[in-house]
């Protein structure tokens, strides 16, 4: 039991019950992510059923800027990579490097949010608001829920930077970073589905 290790971050268990605790909390977080994934799945289904319900308003092909969406994708994927670098640093116990990579991840996350807000404001100035049509309601809500998750992720990274500074790489801090990593990569995964379902059909059309 105490030999079991998790991918990503070596928790270096001093006590056997720590391994058990980590296993329990990580499993619990996976279960939460499952529930969250279903939340997104239902919103994807809603979006798919609303995509043609433009109610005389603009359609996705007229509105979406694939360049911006591509940039958002790059920024978010890059942030997953930098989080991976932070995880490697954690594994080797290099606290400073881990913090630095987390700061880079945080900046990329904020950058992503900035790009998303820019897209939203450009749509709204074009008169394409969430109130315009069922299609735009579902577009804005799907992306905002993902954005809200990204915001929570950014706040979480900020909190973890503070905790690393205060507690060092203690067992609870490592365990939380492990779960934060799952959360952050999960955001990426959801974004890839968004990119595929929302933006790519516009290019092919």
Interface positions with other proteins (CB under 8 A): 20, 23-25, 27-28, 31-32, 34-36, 38-39, 41-43, 46, 49-50, 53-55, 57, 130-135, 137-138, 140-141, 155, 159, 163, 166-167, 176
Enter the tokens of residue 29: 């977080």
Helical H segments across the chain, by residue range: 16-50, 60-63, 66-91, 95-125, 134-167, 171-194, 200-204
Q: Specify the residue, 53 or 192, whose C-beta has the smaller distance to other proteins.
A: 53
d(CA 24, CA 47): 35
Q: Specify the residue, 57 or 84, whose C-beta has the smaller distance to other proteins.
A: 57
Instruction: For tokens 């968004």, name the residue.
Output: 194
CB of 134 to other proteins, least distance (A): 3
H or E stretch including 13? Answer: none
Q: What angle do CA 26, 27, 28 make, to 5 degrees?
A: 90
CB of 98 to other proteins, least distance (A): 18
3-state secondary structure 160-186: HHHHHHHHCCCHHHHHHHHHHHHHHHH
Q: Specify the residue, 31 or 122, whose C-beta has the smaller distance to other proteins.
A: 31
Q: Specify the residue, 92 or 170, whose C-beta has the smaller distance to other proteins.
A: 170
Q: Specify the residue, 189 or 203, whose C-beta has the smaller distance to other proteins.
A: 189
Give the count of beta carbons closer than 10 Å to the beta carbon of residue 70. 13
CB of 2 to other proteins, least distance (A): 15
CB of 178 to other proteins, least distance (A): 14
CB of 37 to other proteins, least distance (A): 9
């Amino acid at each position: 039991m105490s030999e079991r290790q998790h991918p990503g971050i070596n928790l270096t268990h001093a006590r056997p019950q720590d391994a058990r605790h980590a296993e329990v909390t990580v499993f619990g977080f996976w279960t939460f992510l499952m529930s969250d994934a279903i939340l997104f799945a239902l919103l994807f289904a809603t979006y798919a059923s609303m995509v043609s319900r433009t109610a005389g308003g603009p359609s996705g092909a007229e509105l979406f800027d694939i360049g911006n969406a591509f940039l958002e994708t790059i920024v978010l994927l890059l942030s997953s990579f930098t989080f991976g670098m932070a995880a490697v640093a954690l594994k080797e116990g290099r606290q400073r490097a881990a913090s630095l990579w987390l700061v880079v991840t945080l900046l990329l996350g904020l950058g992503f949010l900035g790009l998303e807000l820019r897209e939203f404001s450009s749509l709204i100035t074009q008169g394409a608001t969430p109130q315009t049509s069922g299609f735009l309601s579902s577009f804005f809500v799907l992306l905002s829920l993902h954005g809200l998750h990204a915001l929570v992720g950014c706040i979480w990274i900020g909190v973890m930077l503070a905790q690393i500074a205060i507690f060092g790489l203690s067992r609870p801090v490592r365990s939380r970073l492990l779960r934060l990593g799952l959360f952050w990569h999960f955001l990426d995964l959801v974004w890839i589905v968004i990119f595929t379902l929302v933006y790519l059909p516009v290019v092919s059309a």
